[in-house]
Every structure is written in structure tokens, then in C-alpha cells.
Structure 1
Amino acid sequence: MHDLQCESLSKRFGAYTAVDSVSFAVPRGSFFSILGPSGCGKTTLMRMIAGFETPTGGDIRIKGRSVLSTPPNKRPVKMVFQHLALFPMMNVGENIAYGLRCRGENRADIARKVARVLDRVGLPGAAEKQVSQLSGGQKQRIAIARCMVLEPDVLLLDEPLGALDLKLRERMKIELKQLQHQFETTFLYITHDQSEALLMSDNVAVMNAGRFEQIGAPQDLYNNPKTGFVAGFVGDSNRWPGRALSVSDGKVRVAIDGGGEAIALAGDERIAAGGPVELFVRPEVISIGAGSGNGLEGTVESLLFNGASSRILVRMANGHLVEVGQAVMDGSVKIAPGETVAIGWSRSHGRAFSVAG
């Protein structure tokens, strides 16, 4: 069963197409993210689902029923905005109860529901607190509680972590995933932050220029990108322009611009011998030393320590800068800037994608 389905959904503003015939389905009780750069159409898509924008074409169904003619306040969806939009003149309990009062529910039921949802978001007894007394993470949970007390079929979240500082944002990623499991409600989340989408989601749709490039589990998008855009946008990648020398059995031999060759998996079916390609290799699969099938040589430019995300930057003879991730950064590997090193990676860890002429 799907809580949300969009079929050939489009939105045009004059000659500009913001959303171009997008189709997808969100399984019941799942965490589904739409990931893409600013201006790709993801906010317009969410506003159509919420009812704030009228589609130019296509259909939106919630639990199998079209909601195109249903006004926003009658749709079984609620939305958490980036800036949360809590009422500063109301205390926590009044903020959460607002939608229930608009429905005309009695005081006893409202008090019971507010207490229950506060307990579920980990803030029992906070009903009398003022919004100004809350931390950023607590405000986030109250914004979610205000929506969830109305028991929507789908909760829409429009980059709700964007205004938080880095440390709090990292913690709230985990809390949001836990809240989604706790409420067993379908979450539709939009973001330009790949780490948010990969960490929290059951499935992710990567959006570019109004279209979905690929939909899949985070592991699939990361390990098996279907387009060069997905390979470059999801996760970190070294990327080099080049030319396909030959294509055989799903592998392509690439002549890297400026010098060097590598064997990679063919990322798409449009690659032809002699055609322009881009080669993508993730930093964590590259190591200092000979690789299994691919190897280049360069000069260590700098060492960047960042715990598990530490990198060695190696400048190749052709001028390309390579991020190398498979290196021990605790001092046991003695590599210094200016040193000449060999780097390598397995052929199966590279992806080559055709480049439109």
C-alpha cells in the first residue's frame, strides 16, 4: 500500500517548467526524501502535494484517493516548514492544540492529545513553557508535535534542519528518524543536503532540473548511480573528463584528459568508443599504493585531518587533484607534502558516464 502517489505531475510558470512529469509512490509508513540542488523544483513539488500550488498536469493521490480538488486545509497532510512557524505569543501546549481547537474538539480531548504527543516527542510536562524558552531542537520537536497531533496520513518536511547549527543538525537527523518510526507515519522530506537524505531515508529521489534522475535506497544511489549527475551529487567523488577508448562487457577504457588511463564500469548505455565521458571515483576507494587494475602517480599536496573523513590530496602530473580517502591519519602512515606516491583503486569502483555533446 502507498500513502502517497504522484503520476506525471507537472508545474509550469509561463514558459518555465519547474516540475516536469514526475511520477513516484511512497510506501506506507516510510521515510522518503527528495534530494536536489536549489532551484531543481523540489519545493514546488511539495507545495503541490500540500495544495499550495495547483499542478499544470498529472495527479496526486493519498491512500488511493485523488486530492487535486481538495483544498489545503482538508488534505490529510501536514507540513513542517524550515523556519517552523511556531506562534511566539502562545505557549507550547497552545501551539500544539491550535489545530485541534480549529477542528472544534473539546478541552478534555485536546488536553489528553497534547499530553500524549508531548510524551511521544520526549518533552513531557512542557505544555506550559514559552516558545522562547525552548532550544532549537526542542522547537523542532514541537513543530512536529503540532502536526502529528492531527494524525496526518503524510507529514511533509521542507528542509526543517536548515536553520540549525551543525552539531544540532547532526543530532536532529537521528531524532527525526526515531520520531518517524515512533509515529509510524509516512514522512516526505525535501533537502539539498545529501547527508540528511542518506542517513534518514528508506528511499531517496534525486531531482535535477524538474525531473527525477534516480529513485532508490541510499545504498543503491551511492554505490550504483545511474547518471553522472547522481554520481556527482550523492557523496563525494573525484571526477575527471576523458574519452572512451573502448567499450566491452560493461567496462570502458578511459583516456583521462591531460594524461593517464583507467578501466571503469560503464555507467550508462550511451557511451561509445571515441566519445566524451566523465570518470567518477570515490575518495574512500582510492589508496596509496598499487590498485587492482588502475594506478596513477602524483605528488602529495596536503593532508587534511577530519577523523573518519580524513583525506590526502594528491596532484597528478596532468594537473588533476585527487582526494585519497583510504589512508591511516593517526600518524602511523608517514606521508609528507611533496612526496611522490602511487595511488590505485579497483576497476569495479570507477564509473564512467557519457557526456552530452
Structure 2
Amino acid sequence: MANDLECRALVKSYGAFTAVNGVSLAVPKGSFFSILGPSGCGKTSLMRMIAGFIEPTAGEILIGGRSMRGVPPNRRPANMVFQHLALFPMMNVADNIGYGLRRRGMAKAEIARRVGAVLERIDLADSGPKRIDQLSGGQKQRVAIARCMVLEPTVLLLDEPLGALDLKLREHMKVELKQLQHQFGTTFVYITHDQSEALVMSDQVAVMNAGRFEQVGTPEDLYYRPATPFVAGFVGDSHRWGGRVTAQAGSDLRVATSAGLALRATAVVPLAEGAAASVFVRPEAIEVRVADGRSDPAPASADVNVFAGRLESLLFNGANSRAMIRLERGDLIGAVLPQNLLGTRLGEGAAVEIRFAAAATLAFPAGGDAP
């Protein structure tokens, strides 16, 4: 499949500071690609280089197979939707959408046809005469996207466009953006610090940290098969232990944590006996059981970690309620609590057991800039 966007060893330096450090990516035609990372990781600098607002210090950008070296922003087959949508309040919806076409000198009849067609596709067919202040937040988002899509770009760049919306509207717009991308068939490149946005909408996600890509893969790859401690800690929730490998057989490890827990874990990269390790497990991988009175429960099998503790607090959130459990060794660990344990069966202070599989307990070399 052809790539609509390629970046080859891109570097952007500001004096002694390097914001983007040797980033390469390839975005297939018609896909939704997200760049996910914390504030200051370099993702905005990368996006602005792609858009043409800043020049790379080194490297090359290709859009539609053509080098963008020396091509100004208004000549690139890419358009950008910003967090602050920059819609023109003095223009109605139709005039906002047709603004770029008028700048290109297109005939009025053709502008009207193309604006009408794109209004139909964003489900605002009767809203052309409306003022911008008559629209809801979600409708304004659609108009901002339509203003770009009417220009038929090869790539649409989106710079955290949902950041200014309230939570409920943001959740709705995540689904709507993905549907719009599928409907138009245009390649979307989306930057965000919100992992939920990236996981829900994207075909592929690049996790960025300190100017570099830590991992590029599907949302499932990043969540279930993180390649680095940073990705394991940044994408989704995880509990993390520091410790040392006490036994190793292939990828099967025994790790003694600093708090004195003996963990069965799976090495993501090879770890030798005696090596310092960082170990991660996700809350939903932890099973909570009401304790049966044993003070030192035995594992159900050699592939399962089992520990005793007490329920310290319940964080009710409907289907995703969380139990905070204090283990006998002192660790406080969170687990997703099944509905059948809510209420009278399990109260604060109750004795519990937690169980989680060694296959879901991922071990990395210590360090690695885990967040």
C-alpha cells in the first residue's frame, strides 16, 4: 500500500536543544495515524514540520510521494485543524467552509457545489446560513474539519482538536472523528497527549518521548505488547515494581521486589539473573477474591502470582470500579473490581487475595524513562 506521508530521520534543533531527534514514520494511504506523548515530547514540533510552518534541521518529508523540501505551507497537499478552531465569527458556516476555495480563485458555482457536498457529508446540510455562534461545540469541530476537507488534501493534520471540549462531548467526538475519517477516506495524522483518544480512533499509534518514537504499532500492540518501560507506564494504567531477577529460564523470570514480594514475570527483552528490573501489571489483569482464611495462600499454579491483603478503599465507577488493596508486604495496588464483588460481599477492611498471571506481568530492564 502506498504511503501518503513519510518522514525520514527528521531532526529539529533549537540551539543546543533537540526537540525532534531522528524520527522516521510511514503513514499508509487512507489510515488514521496518531502521535501520542506527554507535553514537551516533540510531537507539536513534528506536526509543524509536516505542515511546513517550521523547517527541519535535518531529514526529509514526503507527502503523496513528493518531497516537501522548500514547499511553503499553502502549497502543500496537507491541511491542519488546530485545538482552537480559528473559525471566522463574521462569516456563516458555508462561507467558513468555502474560504480556502475562494482564496484559490475558484468559480462561485463550483464553490457552492463543493461546500454543499461537504455539508451533506458532515450532516449539516441545512446549516450553511447559520452563524458560527449558533453551533454546538461538536458542530464547530465538524465545520473546522469540513473547511479542510473541501480542499481535498492528501493528509489532514489534527493538533489536539478535542482538547477544549468538555468530557462528554470529547467522548462523542472521538467516535465521530473516526467515522468522518472513514467516510472521507483521507489520511488523518492526529497528535494528542490523551491515550484514550489515540487508542479509540487510530489504526496505528506512535508513542513519542524526549524527541524520539518509543514504539509504533496498533493500539492493541501498544497496550498488550509494550516494547519499552515508558510505553508500559504511559499507555493505560499499570502498577510498577522495581526489583532484581532471582531466577531466569528463557523469558520466565522470578523477580524479588524492593518491598520483598516474589513475582513470577515474563521478560519483554532478555534479562539475566541478578539484573535490575522494572515489572508492570495492569489493574484489569488482577483478579480479586474474598480470602478464605489462609494467611499465606499458595499459588493456583506455577504461572500465577497470588498475594494476600486487605481492601483499603473502593473507588466506585460503575462497570470500572477500582479496589485499592494493601498487600501484607505494604504495597498498595489497584485492581478492577467485578460487579459481583461490589456491595455487601466486599467491604473496606475485608481480607482478600489477588491473583495475576505471569504472562500479564511484564519485566523490562530497570530505568528506560518509565513515567
After TM superposition, the score normalised by the length of structure 2 is 0.93
Question: Could you say which residue in structure 2 is the equivalent of 1:280?
Answer: 280
- 1:100 maps to what in 2? 101
Number of aligned positions between the proteins: 356
Whether 2:312 is the aligned partner of 1:296: answer no
1:344 paired residue among 340, 350, 355: 355
Q: For each residue in 1:19-42, what CA deviation from the matched residue of structure 2 results, as whole angstroms up to 9, or x when unmatched?
A: 000011000000000000000000
> Structure 2 counterpart of 1:283, which letter?
P
Task: Kindly provide the CA deviation profile for residues 25-80 of structure 1, in whole angstroms up to 9, marking residues without a partner as x.
Answer: 00000000000000000000000000001000100001211012110000000000
Q: Deviation at 1:315?
A: 1.0
Match for 1:313: what amino acid?
Answer: M
Identify which range, 236-245 or 126-135, moves more after superposition. Answer: 236-245
Gaps of 5+ in 2: 290-298
Residues 288 and 343, structure 1, Cα contact 8 Å, conserved in 2: yes
1:237-256 map, 5 Å:
237-256=238-257
Q: Deviations over 1:225-276 (max 9, x none)?
A: 010100011111111111111222112211111121111110223x332222
Moved more, 320-329 or 249-258: 320-329
- 1:327: Cα distance to partner? 2.3
Paired residue for 2:60?
Answer: 59
Scaled by the length of structure 1, what TM-score is found?
A: 0.97
Instruction: Determine what percentage of the aligned residue pairs are the same residue.
Output: 60
For 1:302 and 1:33, the matched residues in 2 are separated by 36
CA contact (8 A) 1:245 1:255 kept: yes
Task: Decide whether the 8 Å contact of 1:100 with 1:110 is kept in 2.
Answer: yes
User: Which shifted more, 48-57 or 336-345?
Assistant: 336-345
d(CA) in 2 for partners of 1:225, 1:68: 34
Q: CA deviation at 1:328?
A: 2.1
SS in 2 for 1:40: coil
Q: Which amino acid aligns with 1:310?
A: S
How far apart are the structure 2 equivalents of 1:6 and 1:102?
29
Q: Which residue pairs with 1:310 in the alignment? A: 321
Deviating 4+ runs (over 6 angstroms): none
Contact 1:312 1:327 in 2 (8 A): no
**In structure 1, what is the Cα distance between the partners aligned to 2:323 and 2:365?**
28
Please give the alpha-carbon distance, in whole angstroms, between the structure 2 residues aligned to 1:218 and 1:45. 21
* Aligned residue in 1 for 2:126: 125
Instruction: Show the counterpart of 2:44.
Output: 43
Q: Is the 8 A contact 2:34 2:189 kept in 1?
A: yes
Q: CA RMSD in A?
A: 1.4
Deviation at 1:341, TM superposition (A): 1.2
Q: Which residue of 1 aligns with 2:4?
A: 3
Partner residue, 1:197: 198
- 2:223 counterpart residue number: 222
Structure 1: how far apart are the matches of 2:64 and 2:344? 56
Opposite residue 167 of structure 1, the aligned amino acid is: K
Q: Which amino acid aligns with 1:311?
A: R
